[in-house]
């Protein structure tokens, strides 16, 4: 367990990250979520990460109160990622300790965190599964 305290994001993050553009429609995004089985995608614009979009963001589009008029399904699915993404997102660097990542995930109830380098360029993503893998690996040592 003590070895886990020394582990950093760099050793466990996913490096080849699929991203989406803010003009992608919700139908295409939902198909990507199905095909890839990811929880979130970083949203890029001109090579910069400008937000994150999650499965929960899609679900929020369908949450209506009884007093609201229900939009048509095609109208909802033609909305753009830029309309539903979270522009203020939490990120970490490759040298962030996994203990900090774990704390952030628990405090904010998030499944994955974007990893940016010192120049604010996307270098990876770290998910709950990656942290669990690190816990298991260090518990055996």
DSSP string, 63-91: ---TTSPPPPHHHHHTSBHHHHSBSS--E
pLDDT in tens, 117-131: 999 999 999 999 999
Q: What is the rounded (10 degree) CA torsion for 69, 71, 76, 80?
A: -60
**pLDDT tens across 84-115, in order?**
999 999 999 999 999 999 999 999 999 999 99
The Cβ of residue 16 has, within 10 Å, a number of other Cβ atoms equal to: 6
pLDDT of res. 69: 58
pLDDT grade for 41, boundaries at 50, 70 and 90: very high
Domains of the chain: 2-140 (3.10.580.10)
Confidence label for 140 from pLDDT (cuts 50, 70 and 90): confident
What's the mean pLDDT in 68-88? 81
Distance CA 9, CA 102 (A): 11
117 contacts: CB under 8 Å, gap ≥ 6: 93, 94, 123
DSSP 39: S
H-type helices in the chain, by residue range?
26-36, 55-61, 73-77, 81-84, 98-108, 128-140
Residues 1 and 110: their CA atoms lie apart, in Å, by 23
Average pLDDT over residues 56-76: 72
Average pLDDT for 60-88: 78
Residue 70 has pLDDT above 90, yes or no: no
pTM of the model: 0.86
What whole-number percentage of the chain has pLDDT above 70? 91
């Amino acid at each position: 367990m003590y070895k886990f305290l020394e582990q950093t994001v760099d050793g466990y993050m996913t490096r080849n990250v699929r991203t989406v553009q803010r003009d992608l429609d919700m139908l295409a995004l939902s198909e990507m979520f199905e095909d890839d089985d990811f929880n979130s995608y970083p949203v890029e614009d001109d090579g910069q990460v400008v937000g994150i979009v999650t499965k929960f963001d899609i679900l929020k589009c369908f949450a209506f109160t009884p007093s609201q008029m229900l939009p048509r399904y095609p109208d909802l699915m033609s909305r753009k990622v830029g309309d539903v993404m979270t522009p203020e997102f939490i990120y970490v660097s490759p040298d962030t300790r996994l203990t900090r990542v774990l704390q952030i995930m628990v405090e904010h109830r998030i499944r994955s965190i974007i990893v940016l380098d010192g120049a604010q360029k996307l270098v990876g993503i770290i998910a709950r599964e990656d942290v669990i893998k690190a816990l298991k690996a260090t518990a055996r040592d």
